[in-house]
A and B are shown apart, each in its own frame.
Chain A
Amino acid sequence: MTDLKNKKILIVDDEPDLRQMIENFLRKEGYFRIYLAGNCAEAIELCHSVKPDIAILDVMLPDEDGFSLLGRIRQFSIMPVLFLSARGEDEDRLIGLGLGADDYVVKPFLPRELTLRLTAILKRVYAPARRESLPIFDLINCTIDLESATVYKNGKEQPLTAKEHALLLKLYESKNRIITSDALCQAIWGDDAYGYENTLMVHIRRIREKIEANPSQPQSLLTVRGLGYKLIVKG
């Protein structure tokens, strides 16, 4: 992970104070090779001279807009780009991502939002080789290892079917929160998932048989009547 902090970051924004602030936050996060530009010309020059690993671009710049700057950068570099926009219209967002931007942050933003997204892009682009392993987590009555698709309950192992595995993964992603049955159906059966509610209930019942002490009185995989389900994860 430490090598990510070595990455060279270019910040292009016409507001010097804002540039300064972003630099401060990034330095605090541990990044130290930070380059600042106030307009497109400076940015292009820096791109050539220091060859940054990632760029944070403002959409509104004094000489050109950020989208055309990205176009020019793309002629010689495939580095990831994160847009910073004060416009915030969805259309801008589409243009930005359509041009091959990696993410888009709307001003005003909290510093954490920006650093998290920046780190996520860096991880994705520069440390992709290692696949994230799937989680292992404890429920009240059992332990679930999604990596091996196994449930450990009372010293016994039970395999999970593909659908059960997908459901548990989705439930785990919003652990301790309600996830609607629609969202679950969509995750398992795709966009046109209307009419799968009964099938979903069947799968939920089978999961409960594997993970609950008493499947008819679930403690981990709760039904939220009329809405969906909630997976209670310990810790």
Chain B
Amino acid sequence: MSSTLRILRGFAGATILISILLLFINFIVGFMITVPQGSLSSAGLVKTVANKLEGSNGAYSLDTQAEKLLKHNHLWAMLINNTGQVSWSYALPAEIPKTYSLTEVAKFSRSFLMDYPVFVWEHPDGLVVIGYPKDSYGKYYLSYPSDFIASIPFILVGLLIGNILLALLFSMLLGGRLIAPLRSLVNGIHALAHEQTVHIKPKGILSELAESLNHASDILKAKNEALKTRDEARFNWIAGISHDIRTPLSMVLGYASDLEENPNLSQEQRKQAAIIRQQGVKLRELVKDLNLVSMLEYEMQPLVNKPMRLAPIVRQVASDFLNNGLDEKYNIQLDIGDEAITVNGDEKLLTRALTNLVQNSITHNPQGCEIHIQIPQGNTDQSLCSIIVFDNGQGIPQDQLSNLMELPYSDKRKHHRSNGHGLGIPIVTRIVKAHGGQLELFSDIEEGLTAIIYLPKNIGTT
């Protein structure tokens, strides 16, 4: 909507600009046309002749240049003295009278003398008259009241404004008509950006564009569907493999733990059976993690979201580690700045994410370390809250941080994991992402690892 409005505004602006420009051009061109080209104007000519006519009392001579001018323009000229007699003439046609009464002079000076357009100018000895060939000039005299003349500038300005308004109106009407089909296109493009299916009826001048847009929408839809099918295939493949591993692994675990408890076996043999069982359990965890990560990756994991406070799960995770016999070289510290912070989340998955972060710190710092879990009081972004897990352990090189979040053996993960199966942090990343949040990692060698989980706050229930 706003984009069509912008287009309309731009269109109207351009129209007004063009109108003003046209007005200017008209003024300039009009001015150039009204100024007579080449020779002098009739008024100028008669003035020249009057000035160049020298002499007195019947003996007059015209300057040769002025004479040339007359000749060139096929004009005739005469001087009427104060008694009404023609005292000098040039190329005077025969039918022109030689004497004039005051009435006659007044008459022809305003219009024609025997159909000859004439122009007059005063001379020390009378009146100089110049005659043009018949039908070569039209003579009109206009008269206006003087206050009308005075208001001309205002009228012009008014006219200008009126024109601009009119131009605006026309441009709006025209633009509106042009934009009507454009609007559906614009809406279509917006819909396309939101991955909705677009179908615009192709009509008007933009029908080709509409067809292209429909085509693009179809292609996008087909691609999305293909992508979805492929994701589903991959997901099913991983689910299938993990399924197929589970049954044989059940038997490995079953018989190994059976042997482990068999009193007929030697201590050594039972120890070996225990190792088989322990490794089987590890394999079981790996299969579970693989399944979880694949479900999160392909968005097949159903989230059981409900409003929940963060502080209890932080305490629960810390307690679980302590209850499960955390080695004394590790020390877990809690720092809960805000008890009330609530998110809308899946408790099991968020607990899992936190557990993975703490476990990561433990796994990568076999020499022991301090692990802090923080819920900071406030955040720069009011709509977000965060959980920070950091340790003072050996850290990892900065350039490998982004690697940690990628799945092991994927193209994006360049370095291979040093210990653990490498799914821990990728699972955290995906859990946080599934909650509409973000995981950030900070570390460097000997500087510990800091992980910050940003989650959207649950607004409304606080």
Contact partner of A89 among B295, B315, B316, CB < 8 A? Answer: B295
A109 contacts which chain B residues (CB < 8 A)?
250, 253-254
Among listed B161-169, B241-249, B443-451, interface-contacting one? B241-249
Q: Are A108 and B284 in contact (CB under 8 A)?
A: yes
Q: Are B243 and A227 in contact (CB under 8 A)?
A: no
* Contact of A179 with B by CB under 8 A: yes
Binary CB contact string for chain B from 431 to 446 against chain A (1 if under 8 A, 0 otherwise)? 0000000000000000
* Contact of A132 with B by CB under 8 A: no
Q: How far is the CA of A147 from the CA of B215 in the complex (A)?
A: 75
Contact partner of B246 among A107, A110, A111, CB < 8 A? Answer: A107
Contact partner of A182 among B280, B281, B315, B340, CB < 8 A? Answer: B315
Q: How far is the CA of A9 from the CA of B311 in the complex (A)?
A: 45
A181 contacts which chain B residues (CB < 8 A)?
315
A88 contacts which chain B residues (CB < 8 A)?
242, 246, 288, 291
A25-B254 CB under 8 A given contacts A60-B243, A86-B243, A108-B284: yes
| B396–chain A nearest beta-carbon distance, Å | 28
Q: How far is the CA of A109 from the CA of B249 in the complex (A)?
A: 8
Q: Are A86 and B253 in contact (CB under 8 A)?
A: no
Q: Which residue of B lies closest to A60 (CB)?
A: B243
Q: How far is the CA of A89 from the CA of B288 in the complex (A)?
A: 9
A18-B239 CB under 8 A given contacts A178-B323, A228-B319: no
Q: Are B251 and A91 in contact (CB under 8 A)?
A: no
* Contact of B257 with A by CB under 8 A: yes
Q: How far is the CA of A139 from the CA of B269 in the complex (A)?
A: 40
| B346–chain A nearest beta-carbon distance, Å | 10
Segment 156-199 of A: residues with Cβ below 8 Å from B: 174, 177-183, 194
Q: How far is the CA of A81 from the CA of B68 in the complex (A)?
A: 131
Q: How far is the CA of A24 from the CA of B336 in the complex (A)?
A: 51
Q: Which residue of B lies closest to A178 (CB)?
A: B319
Binary CB contact string for chain B from 245 to 281 against chain A (1 if under 8 A, 0 otherwise)? 0110111111101100000000000000000010011
Segment 86-102 of A: residues with Cβ below 8 Å from B: 86-91
A178 contacts which chain B residues (CB < 8 A)?
319, 322-323
Contact partner of B312 among A18, A60, A107, A182, CB < 8 A? Answer: A182
B311 contacts which chain A residues (CB < 8 A)?
182
* Contact of B36 with A by CB under 8 A: no
Q: Are B318 and A227 in contact (CB under 8 A)?
A: yes
Q: Are B322 and A18 in contact (CB under 8 A)?
A: no
* Contact of B302 with A by CB under 8 A: yes
A22 contacts which chain B residues (CB < 8 A)?
254
Q: Are B251 and A18 in contact (CB under 8 A)?
A: yes
* Contact of B334 with A by CB under 8 A: yes
A108-B246 CB under 8 A given contacts A89-B295, A226-B315, A227-B315: yes
Q: Are A108 and B312 in contact (CB under 8 A)?
A: no
Q: Are B247 and A228 in contact (CB under 8 A)?
A: no
Q: Are B243 and A90 in contact (CB under 8 A)?
A: no
Binary CB contact string for chain A from 13 to 24 against chain B (1 if under 8 A, 0 otherwise)? 001011001101
Q: Are A194 and B340 in contact (CB under 8 A)?
A: yes
> What 9 A-B pairs are tightest by C-beta distance, nearest first?
A182-B312, A108-B249, A107-B246, A86-B246, A108-B250, A178-B319, A180-B315, A177-B323, A226-B334
Given A108-B253, A174-B323, 19 additional A-B pairs, CB 8 A: A18-B247, A18-B250, A21-B254, A88-B246, A89-B239, A90-B302, A107-B246, A107-B247, A108-B250, A108-B252, A178-B322, A180-B312, A180-B319, A182-B309, A194-B340, A226-B315, A227-B315, A227-B319, A228-B315
Can you offer 7 A-B residue contacts whose CB atoms are under 8 A?
A88-B242, A108-B247, A110-B254, A111-B258, A177-B323, A179-B319, A180-B315
